[in-house]
Structure 1
Amino acid sequence: MKTSWLLSLSAILAGIAVPLSLAPFNFWPLMFVGVGGFFYLQHIARSAKESAWFGWLFGVGYFGLGVSWIYGSMQTVDTPIWLALILTGGFCLLMALFHAFQGWFYGRFLRQLPWALLLVAPLWWVLNEWFREWFLTGMPWLYAGYAFTDLPIGQLAAIVGIYGLSLILAVSSALGLSAFLQIRSGDRRKALGQVVAVVLLLVGSVTVGILRPASSWVDSAGVLEVAAVQSNIDQRVKWSAAQQRPTLEFYGDSITRMKNVDLVLWPEAAMTRLPDKIPYFLSQIDTLGKNRDQAIITGTLTQEDGRYFNAMRGYGQASGEYRKQHLVPFGEYVPLENWLRGLIAFFDLPMSTMIPAGEPQAPIPFEVAGQPYFAAPVICYEAAYPGLVRQLARDAGLITVVSNDAWFGDSLGPHQHLQITQMRAIENGRPILRATQNGISALIDANGRIVQRTDQFVSAELIGEMTLSQNRTPFQTLPRALVIWLSGGALLILFILNWRKNSVRST
C-alpha cells in the first residue's frame, strides 16, 4: 500500500509547526504539535523506509520555513532570485536528511525497544539535536527547547541546558500523544495515567523554574552602566572604500557622547579596516577610554602571518583580543573553495577568507573604578553553541555578543538568533550585552529576559544598567554533555535489555 498523501502532508505541516513555535512567531504550544506529530508518524510507519520518508518531509517543512533566512542572505549580495531560490531550496532539502536518518534509524533499530514511543523516541530526538550541533561543523538551530525561552520552565536551562529542555518537551509530547492514542483505543485508564504524568512533569518543571530562576544560582558582582551601539550601515556598502571614513566618524561621534558609560560594545566587524591601517583613530579611542575610566570592546578584523581573523578587541580600560572559534560556512570561509569561489557573488563575500582561532580563547579583561572584570566574548553564530559559551562564561561577569545580522535581511533569522542568545544567558546565569550592526541589539538579564532592545534597520545607542554575575550555575559545573550521556546510556540499556529478552525467548 502506498503512503497516504495526507500523511505526507501532515509530516510537512508538523515540520512547519516547529519554527512557528519559535521567534518571531512564538506560538510555543505548536512545538508540542510538531514534535508529537513527528513521533506519531514514526509510530505508525510500516517500515524503516517509510519512517525515513516521513522524517525527510518533516525536515523539509522544518528547515524550509526555519532557515528561509538563507534566501535573504543571498539577496543581500544581489544573487539572482531564481538562483537564490534554488540554492536555498537545495540546502533545506539536504538538511532534511538529518530527520530522514533520524526516522530511518528509529524504524530500523529502535521501534521494537521497550517504551519505544514514551521514552526511546524522545531520547533519540535529543541525541539527534546534539548530533546536528557538531556534524560537518554543526547547525545548532531550531532546537525544541527554545520554545520554553520566555516561559518559567525555561529557567531549568540553568540546570539542564538546552538539551535538557528539549528532552522535557519531547517526553511531554510523547506522553500526550500516547494518551491520545490510548483514548482512541478505548483504554481510558491508561490514558488518564499518562495525562497525569505529563501534567506532573510540566507543572513540576514550571514550579522549579519559578522557585529557582537562573539568577538564583549566582551572586551579584556589581552594577555597571553599559551601552550597545548599532550603526545600521548598509551591508552592500559596508566594505567599500567610500564607507570607511563615515564608519569611523559614526563610532567616533557615538563614543564622544557616552561620557558616563562604564562599558561600550560595538558590533561585529565594526572596524572594517585592519587595526594597523587606522592607528590614529584607535589610539584616540584607547586614550579616551583610559581618561574616562571606560572600557570599549569592538568587533574588528585582525591579521597574523597573512591569515585573517574575525575578532573582538578591547580598548580603554579593556584589553586583549578574542578570535572567533566557530566560523560560518560561506559567510566566513568557503567549503570546497577551489571549486566554488568565484562562481557567484555569494561565494565571494568580503569576509569569506577567515580562519578560526588556532588555540582556545579566553575572556576579555576590563577594569572599572579599579575593579577587575571579565567579559565572555561571543561572535555572531557562536551564540548557538552552548558548550563554547559555557566555557567562556564560567569565570566572566557578563557575556558580550557582537553580530552582523544584516546578512539576514528582513527575515526570521535575527529574531531566532536573539532567542538563542537569551537561552545562553539562562544557562550561564549571566547577563548579555548584545550589539549588532542593524538589529536586534539588546540588554538581557541573567534570567534571559530582554530588558531593552532596539528596532531593526535604525541607528541606535542602547544604554542601561546591568548587574554582573559571579559563581556558577549547575549547568556550568555539571559535566557539559550530561544530558547527552544519560540519554545515550538509557537507550543503550534499553537496547541491551531488549536483546537479552529476545535471546532468552529464542532459547
Structure 2
Amino acid sequence: MYPNLARPGRLAASLPLLLALSAGAIAVLGFAPFAFFPVAVIAAALFSATLAQGSARAGFLRGYAFGLGLLGFGVFWIRISLNEFGNMDAWAANLLMALFIALMALYYGLVGWLTRALHRGPAWTVPVLLLPGLYVLFEWLRGWLFTGFPWLNLGYTQIDGPLAGYAPILGVYGLSLLTALSGGLLWGLIRWDWRARAAAGAGLAALWLGGLAVQQINWTESVGAPFQATVIQANIPQAIKWEPEARIGIMETYVDLTLPHLDSDLILWPETAIPNFLHEARDPLLDPLAERARETGTEIVLGIPVLDLEAERYYNGLVSIGSVEDLYTKRHLVPFGEFLPFGAWLGPLITLFEIPMSDFSAGTAPRPLLRVGQWTAGASICYEDVFPAEVAQALPDAGFLINVSNDAWFGDSLAPHQHLEMARMRTLEGGRPMVRATNTGVSAIIDWRGRVLNQVPIFVRGTASAQVQPRAGATPFVRFGNWPALLLALGLVGAGLLIGRRGTV
C-alpha cells in the first residue's frame, strides 16, 4: 500500500519548510536588479513565523530551507563562471554549484537550530531578539570563514530604503540586523495581541523614521575642488580576453575609447584591462599613454597583471600613470578564480578548473591606498569591495574610492547588478564617492550617498563621465568597523537568553 501522504501531521510538518524556502526565495527580490526593499522585510517576517515554535531539529531544517531558497535563487550564476568560462563540463559545474549552495545554506540552518535551541522565554524573544542577533552573527561568520563569501547580506536590500541612513553608523551588517528586526516586528504587528501590536508598530516606526532622520547627517565633508572622472567599459568577451591574438585589438579598443576623454581629470579602465604583464606593456602602451596624459593633465588608472620576475609570482594589479605612477596589488583573492585553495585536500578536483590566470599571489600592502596625481584613492579590485572592513582600511586618508572589476565571469545574470549594489553600500559606509570601471558592466560613478551619477549599461561598449567631489573625515563605521553591529547582535542574543532564564513575560 502507498503511504498516506495527505495525513494532517505530515502536511503540517512540511508547511513551515515550504514557507521558509519561499521566504528565502522571495528575499532575492529585495536585492538588485529588482531592489524591492520592503520584500526583504516581508521575507524576514515569514522566516520569523517558521521559527515561532518547534524543536531545535525543526529549526535547523527550516533555517536550512531558507538558506537554500535565498542562495539557490540568488547565486545560481556560479554555474556560469564554472561552465562557460572555467571550461568545466555542464554536469560538473551544476554539481559544484549545488554543492556550494548546500554548504552555504548550513549557516542559515545553524541560525534556525540555535534560535529554537536557545529559546526559553516568551514567544516575542524569537523574532525580536534571538533571530535578528543570530542571523547577523552567522552572516558575519560567512563573510570571513574559509576566505569568506559575503554575498547576499540582507542589509544590501535596504540601500534605497529608509534604513540606509544607518549604514555610515553600523555598516551593512547593522542594516542586516535592522532588516531582520523589522521583519520580526512586522510579524508581531500581524500576530500578537493589541498591546503587543502597538509596541511592535511603535518600534517599527521608530526604526524607519530614525533611519530617515540620520540620513540628514553629513558624516564627512567636501575637501578640495571636484574633478571630472570617466570610466571606460570596453565590453571585451571573456572568451577571447586572454587569447594572444586578441591582445593588440583589446589595447587599441581601450585607447580609442580613452582619447576623446583626455579632457577628464581621471580616466579609469577595468580590472586586467590589458591582458599583458606590466613590464611587457610599458614600451608599446603605458609609457606613450602616460606621456600623452601628462600633456593634457589627465590621470589614468588601469588594471593589469604584474609579474615579479625575481620571486616568480604574479599579481592582480592596479597602476596609476600620469603625473605620478603608483601601483596597488590585490590583497584578497577570489578562491578558484584567482587562486586554488585547499589544493592538498581537493586533489584531482583541481584538474576540472581551466581558468586563465588562476594562480595569482596576494598583495602585501598594509592598506589599500593608491596615489592618483594629487589625490589619494582607496583601491579595491573586483571581489575586494564586498568586504566592508577591508575597504574602510583606506579611510580616512582616501578622498574617494576606486573599484575595478571584470564581472564578465558572471554572464548575463543577477550578479553584476548585485555587485554594483555592494559597491554603492561601500560609499555609504565610508562617506566617499566611488569611480567604478568593469569590463562588461555595470561601470558607474557613485556619489558619497550611494547614488549612481552616471553609468554604462551591462554589455555595452562605452564610457560614462561625472563630477566627483573628494571628501574628508570619518564616519562612525570607519572609526569602529563592524564592532557596533556585532556587539548589538550579541546584546540581542544575550537579552533573549537572560529573559528566558528569568521567565520574564
Does the alignment reach a TM-score above 0.5? yes
What pairs with 1:82-101 in structure 2 (closer than 5 Å)? 82-101=91-110
Equivalent residue, structure 2, for 1:139: 149
Q: Does 1:58 align with 2:66?
A: yes
Q: What is the root-mean-square deviation in Å for CA atoms of aligned residues?
A: 2.1
CA distance in structure 2 between the aligned counterparts of 1:229 and 1:449, rounded to whole angstroms: 19
Whether 1:291 aligns to 2:295 is: yes
Q: Does residue 337 of the first structure (1) align with residue 343 of the second (2)?
A: yes
CA separation in 1, counterparts of 2:26 and 2:224? 41
Return 5+ residue gaps in structure 2 as ranges. 1-8
Change beyond 3 A, Cα 1:111–1:310 = farther
> Which residue in the other structure is 2:5 paired with?
none
Deviation at residue 442 of structure 1 after TM alignment: 0.3
What corresponds to 1:191 in structure 2?
197
Partner of 1:264: 267
Query: Partner residue of 1:122?
Result: 132
In 1, the alpha carbon distance for the partners of 2:496 and 2:197 equals 23
Secondary structure of 1:4's counterpart equals helix
TM-score, scaled to structure 2: 0.92
Per-residue deviation at 1:18?
1.4
The one-letter amino acid of 2:393's match is Q
Kindly indicate whether residue 249 of structure 2 is the aligned counterpart of residue 243 of structure 1: no
Counting aligned pairs with the same residue, the percent is 33
1:308 paired to 2:311: no
Q: Per-residue CA shift, 1:167-220, capped at 9, x if unaligned? A: 2212111111122221xxxx22322222222122212222322x22xx553224
The amino acid that maps onto 2:248 is R
Query: What TM-score, normalized to structure 1?
Result: 0.91
Q: Secondary structure at the match of 2:83?
A: helix
CA distance in 2, matches of 1:344, 1:498: 48
Contact 1:218 1:472 in 2 (8 A): no
The answer to whether residue 165 in structure 2 is matched with residue 155 in structure 1 is: yes
- 2:27 is aligned to 18
Q: Which residue of 2 aligns with 1:471?
A: 473
Separation in 1, partners of 2:401, 2:250: 25
Does 1:327 pair with 2:299? no
Following the alignment from structure 1 to structure 2, what is the Cα–Cα distance between the partners of residues 202 and 190?
A: 18
Cα distance in 1 for partners of 2:356, 2:273 equals 14
Q: Residue 394 and residue 110 in structure 1: after superposition, are their counterparts in 2 closer, same or farther (change >3 A)?
A: farther
Query: What SS does the aligned partner of 1:105 have?
Result: helix
Classify 1:7/1:116 alpha carbon distance in 2 versus 1 (closer, same or farther; 3 Å): closer
Deviation at 1:82, TM superposition (A): 2.8
1:108 CA displacement: 1.8
CA distance in structure 2 between the aligned counterparts of 1:308 and 1:177, rounded to whole angstroms: 52
The answer as to whether partners of 1:425 and 1:444 remain within 8 angstroms in 2 is yes
**Separation in 2, partners of 1:434, 1:356:** 21
Question: Is the CA contact 1:362–1:392 (under 8 Å) kept in the aligned structure 2?
Answer: yes
Task: Give the Cα–Cα distance (whole angstroms) in 2 for the partners of residues 88 and 245 of structure 1.
Answer: 35
Aligned residue type for 2:189: A
* Other-structure match for 2:6: none
Q: Name the aligned partner's letter for residue 73 of structure 1.
A: S
Letter in 2 for 1:446: W
The residue type paired with residue 347 of structure 1 is F
- The question of 1:109 aligning with 2:118 is answered yes
* In 1, Cα distance between equivalents of 2:365 and 2:261: 35
Q: Distance in 1 between matches of 2:493 and 2:212?
A: 27
1:345/1:416 CA distance change after superposition, 3 Å: farther
Could you tell me how far 1:340 is from its partner in structure 2? 5.2
Alignment CA distance shift 1:22-1:310 (3 Å): same
Which 10-residue stretch deviates more, 429-438 or 354-363? Answer: 354-363
2:292 partner amino acid: L
SS at match of 1:222: coil
Letter of the 1:82 counterpart: W
**Runs of at least 5 residues in structure 1 that lack an aligned partner in the other structure:** 503-507
Query: In the aligned structure 2, how far is the partner of 1:249 from the partner of 1:148?
Result: 41
Q: In the TM superposition, what whole-angstrom CA distance separates every residue of 1:298-331 from its partner, at most 9, and x where no partner exists?
A: 1111122111111111111242211111111111
Residues in 1 aligned to 2:454 and 2:62: alpha-carbon distance in whole angstroms: 42
Amino acid in the other structure paired with 1:397: G
Q: 1:489-504 residue pairs with structure 2 within 5 A?
A: 489-492=491-494, 494-495=496-497, 498-499=500-501, 501=502
The offset of 1:125, in angstroms, is: 1.4
CA separation of 1:152/1:107 partners in 2, compared to 1, >3 Å: closer, same or farther?
A: closer
CA distance, structure 1, for counterparts of residue 347 and residue 272 of structure 2:
22
Q: Is the 8 A contact 1:159 1:474 kept in 2?
A: yes
8 Å CA contact retained: 2:41, 2:179: yes
1:274-312: CA deviation from partner (whole Å, max 9, x where unpaired):
111122121112222222221111111112211111111
In structure 2, the CA distance between the partners of 1:122 and 1:343, relative to structure 1 (3 Å rule), is: closer
Deviation at 1:383, TM superposition (A): 0.9
| Distance in 1 (alpha carbons) for counterparts of 2:220 and 2:364 | 33
Which residue matches 2:258? 255
Check whether the contact 2:186–2:200 (CA below 8 A) recurs between aligned residues: yes
State the secondary structure of the residue aligned to 2:412. coil
Checking the alignment, whether the CA contact within 8 Å between 1:299 and 1:312 is kept in structure 2 is yes
